[in-house]
């Protein structure tokens, strides 16, 4: 479970933003504009903090789900 305790935004908005930043070549400013179109007003510095904070949690969760290879 990804812990978003203490953050003032919905978990879905945070994970959506981090996913888009990691998956596509998008700058923080462009990502902030995309989220503003969806109704979430967030600063580019906040997006940077989210990526730094939640990427290790997402990576650890993905490693657990990865299928074993032989």
Answer whether residue 18 is part of any domain: yes
pTM over 0.85: no
Q: What is the pLDDT of residues 3-48, one digit of tens each?
A: 878 888 888 889 999 999 999 989 999 999 999 998 989 999 999 9
Answer whether residue 51 is part of any domain: yes
Buried b / exposed e over 13-39, threshold 16 CB at 10 Å, is bbbbbbeebeeeebebeebbeebeeee
Answer whether residue 3 is part of any domain: no
Answer whether residue 60 is part of any domain: yes
Answer whether residue 39 is part of any domain: yes
- Into how many domains does the chain fold? 1
Domain membership of residue 52 as a residue range? 11-65
- Could you tell me which of 26, 22, 70, 67 has the C-alpha nearest to residue 44? 26
> Residue 45 has what pLDDT?
96
> Residue 70 has what pLDDT?
75
Answer whether residue 43 is part of any domain: yes
Answer whether residue 2 is part of any domain: no
């Amino acid at each position: 479970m990804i812990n978003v305790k203490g953050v003032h935004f919905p978990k879905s908005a945070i994970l959506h933003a981090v996913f888009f930043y990691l998956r596509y070549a998008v700058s923080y400013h462009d990502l902030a504009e995309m989220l503003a179109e969806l109704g979430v007003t967030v600063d580019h510095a906040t997006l940077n903090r989210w990526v730094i904070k939640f990427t290790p949690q997402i990576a650890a969760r993905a490693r657990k789900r990865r299928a074993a290879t032989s």
